[in-house]
Amino acid sequence: MFHATYAKDAMPLIRARCLLAVVFFCGSNLFAQRLSLTDVQAQPVTGPGPGLRIAFGGTVNSDMSVAQRDNRDYPQTNINPLFATSVPFNGTISYESIGFNPGFRFDFAPGYRLNQWINFEFETGCIYNTVESYTITGNATIAGAGGDTNIGGTAKLDAEGYLLQVPLMVNVEFSYPIGDGWRPFLGAGGGGMFQKLTVSTISGKIFGADFSYQGDFNQSNFMGAWEAFLGCGYQVAPGFDVSIAYRVDGVLSPDFGGYTMQNFYTQAAEFEMNWRF
Cα(123)–Cα(110) distance, integer angstroms: 7
Residue 88 or residue 11, greater confidence: 88
Q: Tell me, what's the pLDDT at 64?
A: 83
Q: Please state the rounded mean pLDDT for residues 209-224.
A: 80
% of residues, the chain, pLDDT over 70: 68
Please provide the DSSP assignment of 221-235 as one string: EEEEEEEEEEEEEEE
Is 242:218 a contact under the CB 8 Å cutoff?
no
Q: What is the C-alpha separation between 35 and 187, in angstroms, rounded? A: 33
Sequence letter at residue 166: V
Helix and strand element counts for the chain (H, E):
1, 13
d(CA 173, CA 189): 9
Confidence of residue 201 (pLDDT cuts 50, 70, 90): confident
Confidence of residue 208 (pLDDT cuts 50, 70, 90): low
> What is the per-residue pLDDT across 93-102, written as a single tens digit (0 to 9) for each?
777 888 899 9
- pTM (global) more than 0.95: no
Peptide bond connecting 75 to the previous residue in cis, omega within 30 degrees of 0: yes
Q: Which residue has the higher pLDDT, 142 or 41?
A: 142
pLDDT of residue 89: 62
Pairing label, strands 49-59, 240-251: unpaired
Per-residue pLDDT tens over the stretch 35-93:
344 444 445 545 689 999 999 999 986 778 877 665 444 445 545 556 555 555 667 77
Using CB atoms within 10 Å of the CB of residue 3, give its burial: 0 to 12 exposed, 13 to 18 middle, 19+ buried. exposed
The pLDDT score that the predictor gives to residue 185 is 98
